[in-house]
């Protein structure tokens, strides 16, 4: 059981407000020591936090839109933001292509390809020198 991540994190201090069952509010600063937590535990806690953040915007989606999320990989810091429907994504790409001077029909075609095959939008970091 590896705990390299926990050792690297160590103890984190966090301030929070809490209201007890009597309605009394208190502000606390606590420490959370991660140094003995397993890497798998920390990864699970991180994912759980991001899932909770994602549930707010995901609740607004239809069943078919939710099913489209199945297997999708999200950037951790973007979870919790409004999820754009496929049509919204296509429209956004299409407008960007039109603004770049691409004709409307070709812009729509490129936008659909970009949404359906996002790997096509990656840029190779290596530059060919001749």
Mean pLDDT of 75-83: 84
Residue 103 predicted with pLDDT over 90 = yes
Q: Which residues pair with 27 in a beta bridge?
A: 17
pLDDT for 72: 83
Q: What is the mean pLDDT of the chain?
A: 88
Tokens representing 92 are 């956004």
Q: How would residue 118 be classed by pLDDT, with cut points 50, 70 and 90?
A: confident
Q: Give me the pLDDT at residue 62, please.
A: 87
Which two three-digit tokens encode residue 116? 């359906």
Q: What does the pLDDT read at residue 19?
A: 96
- The pLDDT of residue 127 is above 60: no
CA distance 13 to 48: 20
Has residue 40 got a pLDDT over 70? yes
**For tokens 């970009």, what's the residue?**
114
The more confidently predicted of residues 93 and 84 is 93
DSSP β-ladder status, 11-19 and 25-33: antiparallel
Report residue 56 as tokens. Answer: 């707010």
How far is the C-alpha of 45 from the C-alpha of 21, rounded, in Å? Answer: 26
pLDDT at residue 123 above 70? no
Angle of helix 86-99 relative to helix 104-116, nearest 10 degrees, comes to 130
């Amino acid at each position: 059981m590896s705990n390299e991540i926990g050792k690297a994190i160590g103890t984190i201090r966090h301030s929070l407000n809490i209201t007890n069952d009597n309605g009394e509010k208190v502000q606390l600063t606590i420490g959370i020591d991660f140094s003995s937590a397993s890497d798998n535990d920390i990864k699970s806690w991180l994912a759980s936090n991001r899932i909770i953040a994602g549930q707010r915007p995901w609740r607004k989606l239809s069943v078919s839109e939710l099913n489209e999320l199945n297997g999708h990989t999200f950037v951790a810091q973007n979870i919790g933001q409004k999820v754009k429907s496929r049509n919204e994504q296509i429209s956004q790409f299409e407008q960007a292509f039109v603004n770049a001077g691409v004709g409307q029909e070709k812009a729509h075609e490129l936008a659909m390809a970009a949404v359906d095959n996002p790997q096509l939008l990656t840029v190779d970091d290596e530059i060919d020198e001749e």
